[in-house]
Amino acid sequence: MDKFILFAGNHPVLVTALMASFFLVIFSELRRKASGLINIEPADVVRLLNNDGVVLDLRNPDSYARGHIVNARNVQHDELDSRTKSLDKSKPVVAVCDNGISSTRTVTALRQQGFETAFGLKGGMNGWMQAGLPVVGDKKTKSKSRKGKKRG
């Protein structure tokens, strides 16, 4: 024990940095637990969708057209308030973005509006596709890609 006290006396900057990082980790973990489970795995999203869940795709219309989860609704951040009024608050809602980062902000907003079963897709559409789950594309996008191919 005397060696620890001697070390702390000789290296106050290191000890202060260690204590600050320790409290930062504790604070972030407590904040995460207080906010509840926000991001869920793709397999859990499939279970929610089978129980009448709704998917809100927060990506831009071009990304949505290239590929999205079946029956997903394309909703931009600025129109979120008006589009969520038509949703049933008792049904699960899953917010999806490109990589799972910006959907966390949307899930927090949805929970403040009374959607207790609002979640974000962990990893976003990238995580969904890496899990090998189905993606549907817009018919317009598929026809454009066929026009670009040379026939011969």
- 146: its two tokens: 């066929």
Q: Are strands 39-40 and 118-121 parallel, antiparallel or unpaired?
A: parallel
Q: Rounded to an integer, what distance in angstroms lies between the CA atom of residue 122 and that of residue 107?
A: 12
Q: What is the pLDDT of residue 139?
A: 59
Q: What is the pLDDT of residue 148?
A: 45
Catalytic residue check, 62: no
Other beta carbons within 10 Å of 24: 10
Q: If the chain, 152 residues long, is cut into consecutive pieces of 10 residues, what is the mean pLDDT of each piece? A: 90 94 86 71 91 91 91 87 84 90 86 89 91 80 40 42
DSSP one-letter string for 94-106: EEE-SSSSTHHHH
Catalytic, out of 94, 96, 97, 125: 97
- 119: its two tokens: 């979640």
Which run of H or E residues covers position 121? strand 118-121
DSSP 87: S
